[in-house]
Chains A and B, each alone.
Chain A
Amino acid sequence: DAGVIQSPRHEVTEMGQEVTLRCKPISGHNSLFWYRQTMMRGLELLIYFNNNVPIDDSGMPEDRFSAKMPNASFSTLKIQPSEPRDSAVYFCASSTSGSHNEQFFGPGTRLTVL
């Protein structure tokens, strides 16, 4: 079975450019999570969706970040404009919405903003 799929795996861009990260959750999972991981701050939850609806976006750093989930099999995380401090690894994870919420992570996108 395919796991969570993320693209691109690596992204290098210049400050001020728009960046779009993509995620396809595991088929049948109806919850999707976006995380960011840095050495300084560890793994942080940015936003999560249940049944394509954003539930908690309190972790989104600022208005430059936005996320969408137009259907059950696709989500995007967009940064516009990007800044060097956005450099990090961005993970997408998915789970069923059962009571125990085991989350499975994608391979991540390593973003470097120059």
Chain B
Amino acid sequence: QKEVEQNSGPLSVPEGAIASLNCTYSDRGSQSFFWYRQYSGKSPELIMSIYSNGDKEDGRFTAQLNKASQYVSLLIRDSQPSDSATYLCASSLTGFQKLVFGTGTRLLVSP
């Protein structure tokens, strides 16, 4: 069983809309959560990290964590075609540095 699950997509949204990306995890010992953006042919780029329940906002991005329900989400407001990429969710257990990655959700933002 994969420890971090994501819908592979593609998730298609029109320009200017809110894109909502979701991720669930199976290990309740997971402490830290990360969202990476990966453009085709490029390396993963860290865009958000979240460690506590609730919301964390950074510009057009909002990460949401609900430990009781074991899910993490990433909202992208005012989506732009340049946001089209694969978004990887990752988690790590308390006291461990090892990240477990989901398989990623492909986001397509159409003009």
Interface positions of A (Cβ within 8 A of B): 31, 33, 42-43, 45, 48, 50, 55-56, 91, 95, 97, 99-108
Q: Is the interface of A mostly helix, strand, loop or mixed?
A: strand
Contact B46–A43 (Cβ < 8 Å): no
How many residues of B are counted as interface, with CB atoms below 8 angstroms from the partner's CB atoms? 20
Using CB atoms, name the residue of chain B closest to A4: B43
* A-B contact list, 6 entries, CB within 8 Å: A55-B97, A100-B49, A100-B51, A102-B49, A105-B43, A106-B43
The distance from the CB of B88 to the nearest CB of chain A, in whole angstroms, is 7
Contacts of A42 in B (CB 8 A): 101-104
Contacts of A101 in B (CB 8 A): 32, 92, 97, 99
Interface residues of B in 66-111 (CB under 8 A from A): 88, 92, 97-99, 101-104
Any A CB within 8 A of the CB of B44: yes
Contacts of B102 in A (CB 8 A): 42
Besides A43-B88, A97-B97, A101-B32, 15 other CB < 8 A contacts?
Answer: A31-B97, A42-B101, A42-B102, A42-B104, A43-B44, A45-B99, A56-B98, A91-B43, A95-B97, A100-B51, A102-B46, A102-B49, A103-B46, A105-B44, A105-B46
Contact A43–B32 (Cβ < 8 Å): no
Contact A108–B43 (Cβ < 8 Å): yes
Contact B101–A48 (Cβ < 8 Å): no
Contacts of B51 in A (CB 8 A): 100
Interface centre among B32, B51, B97, B99 (most CB of A within 10 A): B97
Known: A102-B34, A105-B43, A107-B43. A48 touches B97 (CB 8 A): yes
A3 to B97, CA, bound (A): 19
Contacts of A33 in B (CB 8 A): 99
The distance from the CB of A45 to the nearest CB of chain B, in whole angstroms, is 6
Any A CB within 8 A of the CB of B55: no
Interface string of B18-62 (1 = CB under 8 A from A): 000000000000011010100000111110010100000000000
Contacts of B31 in A (CB 8 A): 99
